[in-house]
Amino acid sequence: MKKMFFLAILLFSYFQMSQQIQKTTGNGKETLSNPRLMLVQGTLNVMMNQNITLSCHSEYGSPPVTYTFFKDSQKVTTLHRPDLTPGLFNLTINAASDVGEYKCKAENNISSGRKYSNSLHFTLIEPISKPVLSSPTSQAQKGQNVTLSCLSENGSLPITYIFFKGKQSISPPVTMQKKEAAVIFLFINSSSDFGTYKCKAENSFRNNTKYSNSFNFTLTEKFKSPRSSTGLTSTVNAEESENYVIYTEIEPVKQEEEYVNCSIIRREDQKEKSACATVYSKVFRD
């Protein structure tokens, strides 16, 4: 029994040794480890004209090493490295066909030394354009329901919009899966509701946030002093907005009569109006 056990160990060691011998062929050459494909410059979500640097690296094995890069299984370039330093591939995204799945292969001149990497999948993202904030009415009176629409003409979907009054958010993030304006309803019931509104838009591209034009409502008639000058410091839907985390800054709202009489500049182009038309129609039934 003891003998058998001993034999087994011997056999096992022999097996290991022969494997080692196979790995280290005649010239003391070793097969390569599977290369790792990494992004050393750029992002997986790419914009047009963006530069990317890919690194393909086999850490172990006998040099020289030949690296081949593939895009969707098509060979794009071949590099030779005399040592075990990474093969770097610079790429500029010039067309939609430049994005896709990238992979690389490492070879040395041991016949069995052909190893493939992980893959990296690139997606083309269109940066967002400055959103346009608009409303079908620039004039409002106390007790009126108004709408605000925010739309970025360009930019990959989904696009997330947030509305602000002054610097305080007044809506949760609204994510649009279609090229349609995000719309919020405001119930104008105090002079503080006549402040400056803005919206911001962002999509999945990193650091790609754009703010809209400012938009003010004017009062159609002279605003009568609010019932008691109680804490009308709140924004529209103050109760709700307290739940939102996106407060960048909270500006104290000035409670002044002339605040309401300020003139309005509506920055809104015709194109924008038509884009939002469908949404407006359902609001102004009264």
204: nearest Cα among 249, 157, 243: 157
Q: Which of 196, 204, 233, 255 binds ligand NAG (CB under 6 A)?
A: 196
Q: What is the number of other CB atoms lying within 10 angstroms of the CB of residue 234? A: 17
Site string for ligand NAG, 104-143 (x = CB under 6 A): -----x-------------------x--------------
**Token duo for residue 49:** 């004209």
51 binds ligand NAG (CB under 6 A): yes
Member of 145, 204, 208, 233 binding ligand NAG (CB under 6 A): 145
Among 21, 246, 264, 277, binds ligand NAG (CB under 6 A): 264
Q: Which residues from 81-100 bind ligand NAG, rule CB under 6 A?
A: 88, 90, 92
Least separation, in Å, of the C-beta of 264 and ligand NAG?
Answer: 5
- Report in angstroms how near the CB of residue 249 gets to ligand NAG at its nearest: 16
Beta carbons of 206 and 50 less than 8 angstroms apart = no
Judge whether 88 and 65 are in contact, CB under 8 Å: no
3-state DSSP of 77-131: EEEEECCCCCEEEEEECCCHHHCCEEEEEEECCCCCCEEECCCEECEECCCCCCC
Residues at the site binding ligand NAG, with contacts judged by CB under 6 A: 41, 49, 51, 53, 64, 88, 90, 92, 109, 129, 145, 153-154, 185, 187, 189-190, 196, 206-207, 214, 216, 237, 239, 259, 262, 264-265, 283
